[in-house]
Chains A and B, each alone.
Chain A
């Protein structure tokens, strides 16, 4: 049985007075992994930001529902607490705030919203260390301030670590593969696959097929000019890798 998790209907959205998303439709059911591929500047990150409620991104029409609830009326933090995670393309630095401190605030805020008791510090640190180990993140790294002085690869690992700790029901991965060498890519992909349990869903945003070889999507969509122009299965990704986006981006 398919249960819809995220339903986007005829969405139009703008940022800085520029219409970027134009007539976007997509339904993601529980357990499904979708990939969106598109050229630079097509509006992929904008779509992620709109779904996650980033201030400054304005929906002009259309609807987004998550677990049947109207997302557009929810604050960014509540969307996160409902189970939406955005693995960011450009994670920001937070000086002086240790990774563990940050993660503890995050986990407990989400737990509190869902009426779960806060985790105690010992339990929590143990969990972070264990999850970190799987991603090649050592105990030193989690003591460092969030993203400060992290290499591109380290930042992506940290995003993946946070995702694996929060265990969201829906994760958007915005170019999680950019800046990673093959080994790091495999580690991050493993982290993603670990979350696939038949219930959780993912939206993988990328413009290379590379990551999709490790995290095999159920559906692949080509995104151009603010909406999906073609959908298919994983073979579509290979096609695009070969032929590029030219076919989809030329003026019509």
Chain B
């Protein structure tokens, strides 16, 4: 473990530390969504025809789709014509190395606690891809990784440099027809990260992407594609922040993961998009489709997420367990405070034989927030001996928040063993007094109790990330008691 980890959060001050705006000239598309805009984006990025076609097909399909309403979420109607779909910081030349990246941008990431200068990036523990509005501005440690055949770059670069890989896998886990937001993303996605781990390689460092929304009235649509070939391993981290703005910002991302035979992918997220102010004004609308396909035998994927930000969250990281003996895990902590709303959970689709899945979900609601766990466990007819264990615990702070658990089970195989446990609890006055009697102040007591409640999930985060996440949890809950 590296002890020189930059402190991302100063616990003393403002609640949302990332609310600043970077003053940087941007290259933006005019507001609105139509075929021309899509051609504009594709041209800006110098894309091949096949990708433009993919986008246009997605757009045609999207026009026939309706925004989903089944989630327990209440938000103002989004005017998709009132958004800009592309914003890129203006750089004179495409940076070849970090020395050429606009210092204003480097400073932004430094302020966020993500120094991009390689020698500073956790002394080789983490490689970082930084996505600013619509484009990737810097990817570190590429050279070192390339020596082992690992590809870690922005998806735009991957389209140019590894077109066959991208063409083979893009949309293969989340087709553009999947859902309204995924379809929109497929039409207008701008950037994101691409990872390819070749056969037999254990990625020697954590790979990490930091997403940042800066521009006003701009949707962010990133797209991440991770392919782990046979016998490979990678641990991937994703972090995100956005400036504090009164308007709602739209974020609709896709993450696709392909896991081949005997390979393992760990995907960890600390989601800290701007949640809006304490009266519910502003904040990010976070509609995300994340899915992993365990294609090979014995393949393994685990999602770990700590969701503290966003005004509205709609997110169900899923595992499609196709390979025999493959396994999927979902560990989630979701915290909502003030007027935040989250409808989140997972889907475990058992298709191969002897597939196993595990769901540990911890929801903490405070203030006037509303939270729903929505999970699906599906066992296909041929998925003999499928196993699932689900545990969904909710913790309520105060009496104005709501918490709901909606587990769906579709079992079509008699040999399946599925277990589900759910609890709802409150932080009791007795617990608070016990802590206070030992000298621990109320806010610290709440954070201690909440961290205890989340422990099972936090244990699955990489160490550096876990420390950051624990601090974030404390900040998210500030002012939730007393």
Is this pair of chains taken from one and the same complex? yes
Q: Which residues of A contact B (CB under 8 A)?
A: 52-56, 75-77, 80-81, 85-86, 88, 91-97, 101-102, 105-107, 109-110, 113, 145, 162, 166
Residue of A80, A96, A162 near B452 (CB, 8 A) is A96
Contact residues of B: prevailing secondary structure: helix
Contact A54 B433 (CB under 8 A): yes
When distances are taken between beta carbons in the complex, the residues of chain B under 8 Å from A92 are 428, 430-431, 434
A102 to B439 Cα, complex, angstroms: 11
When distances are taken between beta carbons in the complex, the residues of chain B under 8 Å from A55 are 429, 433
Given known contacts A54-B433, A92-B431, A94-B431, is B441 in contact with A77 (CB within 8 Å)?
Answer: yes
A110 to B439 Cα, complex, angstroms: 6
Q: Is B417 among interface residues, defined by CB-CB distance under 8 A?
A: no
Scan residues 433-472 of chain B and give those whose CB is less than 8 A from a CB of chain A: 433-442, 444, 448-449, 451-456
A100–chain B nearest beta-carbon distance, Å:
12
Contact A96 B454 (CB under 8 A): yes
When distances are taken between beta carbons in the complex, the residues of chain B under 8 Å from A97 are 448-449, 451-452, 455
Residue of A56, A88, A113 near B439 (CB, 8 A) is A113
Given known contacts A91-B434, A92-B434, A94-B448, is B453 in contact with A109 (CB within 8 Å)?
Answer: no
A56 to B436 Cα, complex, angstroms: 14
Contact B430 A80 (CB under 8 A): no
A75 to B430 Cα, complex, angstroms: 15
Contact B431 A105 (CB under 8 A): no
A109 to B437 Cα, complex, angstroms: 11
B399–chain A nearest beta-carbon distance, Å:
16
Contact B452 A86 (CB under 8 A): no
Contact B437 A105 (CB under 8 A): no
Contact A94 B437 (CB under 8 A): no
Contact A80 B433 (CB under 8 A): no
Contact B436 A96 (CB under 8 A): no
* Residue in A77, A91, A106 whose Cβ sees the most chain B Cβ within 10 Å: A77
A98–chain B nearest beta-carbon distance, Å:
8
When distances are taken between beta carbons in the complex, the residues of chain A under 8 Å from B454 are 96
When distances are taken between beta carbons in the complex, the residues of chain B under 8 Å from A54 are 433, 437
B179–chain A nearest beta-carbon distance, Å:
35
Contact B451 A96 (CB under 8 A): yes
When distances are taken between beta carbons in the complex, the residues of chain B under 8 Å from A52 are 437
Chain B's closest residue to A101 (CB) is B448
A105 to B434 Cα, complex, angstroms: 13
When distances are taken between beta carbons in the complex, the residues of chain B under 8 Å from A86 are 437
Chain B's closest residue to A112 (CB) is B439
When distances are taken between beta carbons in the complex, the residues of chain A under 8 Å from B435 are 94, 102, 105-106
B455–chain A nearest beta-carbon distance, Å:
4
A85 to B438 Cα, complex, angstroms: 7
When distances are taken between beta carbons in the complex, the residues of chain A under 8 Å from B429 are 55-56
When distances are taken between beta carbons in the complex, the residues of chain A under 8 Å from B449 are 94, 97
A76 to B437 Cα, complex, angstroms: 6
